[in-house]
Amino acid sequence: MTRMSDDTTSKLLFCLLNNKVGGGNRILFELANRSLQAGFDAKLYFLDKSGPPTWFANSCKIAENSIESELSDYDFVFVSNASAVPALLPHCDINKLVLVCQGFESYCYGETINDLLSPKPSIENILKIGNPIIATSKSIQSLIKNNVGRDSLLVPVAIDKDQFATERSQLAESESVRSGKSPKRILAVGDYRAKFKGMLDLADALKMLNKEIPIELVLLTQQKVAKDWFKNYDFPIEFNCNPPQSELAALYASCHVYCCASWYEGFGLPCLEAFSVGIPVVSTNNFGVTEFARDGENILLARPHSPNDLAAKLRTLLTDSALRQSLIENGTATADKYTWQQTMSCFFETLKQMEQTKSDAVAPTQTELEFMLEELENHGYYTPPQVEQALSILSIELQTLCRRIKEGDIDEAESTQMLQQIRQQLKVHLHNPASSYYKEFKARFDLCQMFSVIENPKDWQKMLSFSES
């Protein structure tokens, strides 16, 4: 299906907050590229103007005009974050703006599991607006229905079989040799600073396990900072930050087991990727694995937020060779059911259905939409693109100033003036400690504050190792 009507090619715009590495972005990139291959006029748009991704082999053109002029030209506009709906709805027909839910976002925020599973009205009110919603798993579909009362269209996600097939074959040939090697490499995927990912639970589990079985934590993450989170653990940690998509399968295959410690997931895509490459999986029993997980058959399930249970399941998997082999065989059979051919077939049928079924929903007013965004920002669920841009610019300016001071390429008067200017611009973003960006701005502001109390700028160099870390 490449046409919405008899005389025009379907025009689809996939609108993302940024081009950062992540499962959510990856799925939209795949949908966009495969739609282009199928004959659609598909393009990408980045709200933060970040440009094409360097980690994903993208074929789609980037729409670069203003968002106001772009949206009206497309049959459908797809977004993967709830915050993008009130941001874009003033410029887009409510029946054309499609939210692709890859997780129930209300469950991605909270310091405890109870907080995490508590309603977040500022997010859930956006899901009630009335524009079309696509859910990428039955779990998400159920959560949207039960919590918001909305129906959604199911387009299940998949994995790239071509990417993982070679690694699976090579791994199978050497599995008996690999299983005896030490230390045991435990793979974890995600942002270790996100509380709901349960990374500290996993680290505590590995601390216990390492007393019996030498292990190494292999992190596949978007983060380059805050590595000191793991400074109190005595096992080695390998950081893999934003590797190219083409290297993922080899990275998975280098490990003995993948462990998902999340309190909540929308869909356990890394579990399927591990299944596909042929390594066994231990996961918490979160919403995201319920669709395919069979405890003891293709996966071992642990209680969320329980380092003891995670350690026990990992110990069992690493010491029971027969169970390990059984999980591998059943896991690969499970992964083989999730194909991009099936996903795109569902996606194209969904396009037809949305074209034929127009909602009579009325979009909120401009004032109401602006209030929704303000509420998201105030609660720490949303960072406006202009704020992300400001953080990036000020970070570069501060790094440049530090480098010039270190190299003696700036005099005292100029360095003091520049420091004051950067500090004042950072201060503008410190009015709400609950915001998602507060800590980032505060860390840079505090660094400027420390510099400002040192009378002789030559002594600032003693602080530069801190700033560079």
> In the chain, pLDDT over 90 holds for what percent of residues?
65
| pLDDT score, position 309 | 98
pTM listed for this prediction: 0.88
Q: Which of 21-25, 162-166, 321-325, 337-341 has the lowest mean pLDDT?
A: 162-166
**pLDDT tens figures, 374-421:** 999 999 999 998 898 899 899 999 889 888 877 888 887 888 889 899
The neighbour count for residue 272, using CB atoms within 10 Å, is 23
- Is domain 11-158+341-379 given the CATH code 3.40.50.2000 in the classification? yes
pLDDT above 90 (res 4): no
| pLDDT score, position 459 | 58
Mean pLDDT across the stretch 251-272?
Answer: 95
Mean pLDDT across the stretch 232-258?
Answer: 90
**pLDDT tens figures, 157-167:** 998 887 776 56
Q: Are 362 and 181 in contact (CB under 8 A)?
A: no
User: 453, 455, 448, 404: which is closest to 429 by C-alpha?
Assistant: 448
161-337: CATH, from 3.40.50.2000, 3.20.20.10, 3.40.50.150, 3.20.20.150 = 3.40.50.2000
| pLDDT score, position 377 | 95
Mean pLDDT across the stretch 265-287?
Answer: 94
| pLDDT score, position 56 | 86
Q: Which of 117-126, 138-147, 306-315, 410-419 has the lowest mean pLDDT?
A: 410-419
Q: Which of 24-33, 202-211, 451-460 has the lowest mean pLDDT?
A: 451-460
Q: What is the mean pLDDT of the chain?
A: 88
Mean pLDDT across the stretch 204-224?
Answer: 92
| pLDDT score, position 173 | 46
Mean pLDDT across the stretch 316-344?
Answer: 95
Query: In the chain, which residues fall in CATH 3.40.50.2000?
Result: 11-158+341-379, 161-337
pLDDT band at 243 (very low <50, low <70, confident <90, very high): confident
